[in-house]
Structure 1
Amino acid sequence: MFTIYVYVPDTLADWELGYVTSELNSGRFFKKDAERVALKTVSYSKEPVITMGGMKIVPDCLTDDIVVSEKSILLLPGANTWNDKKHGAIIEKAGELLSSGATVCAICGATTALANFGLLNNRPHTSNGPGFLEMFSPGYKGQNFYVDKPSVADNNLITAGSTGALLWAKQIIEHLGVFKSDTLESWYDYFSTGKPEHFYALMQTLQSDNEN
C-alpha cells in the first residue's frame, strides 16, 4: 500500500493539491489491479491549520510519524510560511525520504524550502520561473539543473510551479502507476482542455478496463 503524506502548513495553497489528492483519495479512475492508497495529513503539531482559502485542517500525524519507505510519498504544497524555521523538520525528512528511494513532490513555495536545504542542487527541477529560487533560497546552487516547465519529474522527485498543479498531479499519478496509461492521458486531456470528447474517451477507458 502507498501512503501519501500531505504536509499542511498554515496558509497552504488549497488549489495546488486539489487534483492529486482528490484522485488518489477517491480512486475513482484507478485501474482494476491498482495498489491501494492511504492519505494522511501531517504537520509539525496537531494544532488545526488554516489554509489560504480559510479551510481548517486538523493534521492526522506528526512529521516524526512518517514512515521512511519506498511506499511513502510526501506532498509539499505551496504556502506563505515556508521561511518559518518550524518547517525545517519536514525538509530534513524530505531529504531522508529522497535518499531512501521514497517520493517527494513539491510545488510553488515548497520548492524554495527544498532549494534552501540543497536538495535541488544536483537534480532536474522547476519552480515559479527562472530567478525565483535565487530570490528566496540563499542556499540554492542548482541553476544548471533548472528546467523552465510547469512541472518536472526526476524519478522520485517531482517539482512544479504555482501554475503547474495539473501536470504535477499527472506526473505523480504516473509515477505511482495507479491509472492505466490511456486513462491518465484522457484524464489530463480533459482537465487541461475541457473538451467533451476527452471526457467520453476517459469513460471509455474505464469501461474497457471493466470488460477485461
Structure 2
Amino acid sequence: MSDKQNILYVILDKWADWEYAFAAGAVAYLGEDKYRNIVVSTDTNIKQSMCGLRCLPDCDLENVPTKYAAVVLIGGLSWRGGDAEKVMPLVKQCLEKGKPLGAICDACRFLAGMGVLNNVKHTGNGASELNEAGDGYKNPQGFVAEQAVRDKGIITANGTAALEFARELCLELGINEKQIETWYTFYKRGFFASA
C-alpha cells in the first residue's frame, strides 16, 4: 500500500458525484494498483452530493498528504462560495510541484477565476460562463468547445463529460493508452453497440 501514489479528489458540499465516479473508478481500475484515491475537503465533516449521497472525506485541506500524483477538483454547486477559496493554496501547490491538475464542471470556472487557465487550452461549461469568472480570467481565446481538454498538465471538462474527463486524466497519468481506450469505448458504446 505504501508504494501507491495518491490522487487527491477535492469535493465541496453539494458535489457532483457522477463526475467523481468515472475518474476515481478509471484510476483505480486501470492504474493497476499504482494509485490510491483520497477524498479531500475543507474539513472532515460529511459532504452531501447533489444526488444525496454522503461522503466522509479522508482528510481536510490542512492534512493533505505531502506526496501526490495529481489533484482533481470535482464540480458541484459550491465552487462559487467562500469554501472554494480555501482550496486555492492546494491548487497553487499542485502547480508549483508540476503535478497534473484536473477540474470538471464549475470547478473549471473556479480555476479560470484564479487565472490558472490563462496559458493553456481549456474547456468548461461554456465560454460565456468562464468569461464571468472574474478579472483573473484573461484567456477566452484558449477556450475549446470540446467535452474535455488536456494541455500542459491541466485537464478540464464540462459537466456532461465525466467519461471523457476520466480518460484524459488517465492519459495524463501515463496509464497504458490501449487499456484506456478499451475502457473508454466500452463505457461510451456499451455492451450492445454495433461494431
With the length of structure 1 as denominator, give the TM-score of the two structures.
Answer: 0.82
In 1, Cα distance between equivalents of 2:66 and 2:84? 18
- Which residue identity lines up with residue 171 of structure 1 in the other structure? E
Letter in 2 for 1:118: G
Compute the displacement of 1:198 (Å).
8.8
Aligned partner of 1:18 in structure 2 is: 21
Q: Which residue does 2:125 correspond to in 1?
A: 128
Q: Any idea what the Cα deviations from partners look like across 1:23-74, whole Å, max 9, x if unmatched?
A: 223x2x44xxx561111111111111111010111111111323455x4211
Higher mean Cα deviation, 34-43 or 112-121? 34-43
Opposite residue 137 of structure 2, the aligned amino acid is: Y
Gaps (5+ residues) in structure 2?
Answer: none
What is the alpha-carbon root mean square deviation over aligned residues?
2.0
Q: What's the CA shift for 1:83?
A: 1.4
Does 2:92 align with 1:95? yes
Q: Which residue of 2 aligns with 1:53?
A: 51
CA distance in 2, matches of 1:150, 1:104: 17
Give the gaps of 5 or more residues in structure 1: 200-212
Structure 1 counterpart SS, 2:39: strand
Matches within 5 A, 1:48-197: 48-69=46-67, 71-178=68-175, 180-196=176-192
How far apart are residue 8 of structure 1 and its match?
1.6
TM-superposed CA distance for 1:190, in Å, is: 1.8
Aligned length: 192
8 Å Cα contact 2:120-2:152 kept in structure 1: no
Q: 1:186 is aligned with what amino acid?
A: T
Distance 2:20 2:155 in 1: 13
Structure with the higher helix share, 1 or 2:
1
The answer to whether the 8 A contact 2:40-2:57 is kept is yes
Which position in structure 2 is the counterpart of 1:209? none
Percent identity over paired residues = 27
User: Distance in 1 between the 2:125 and 2:136 partners?
Assistant: 17
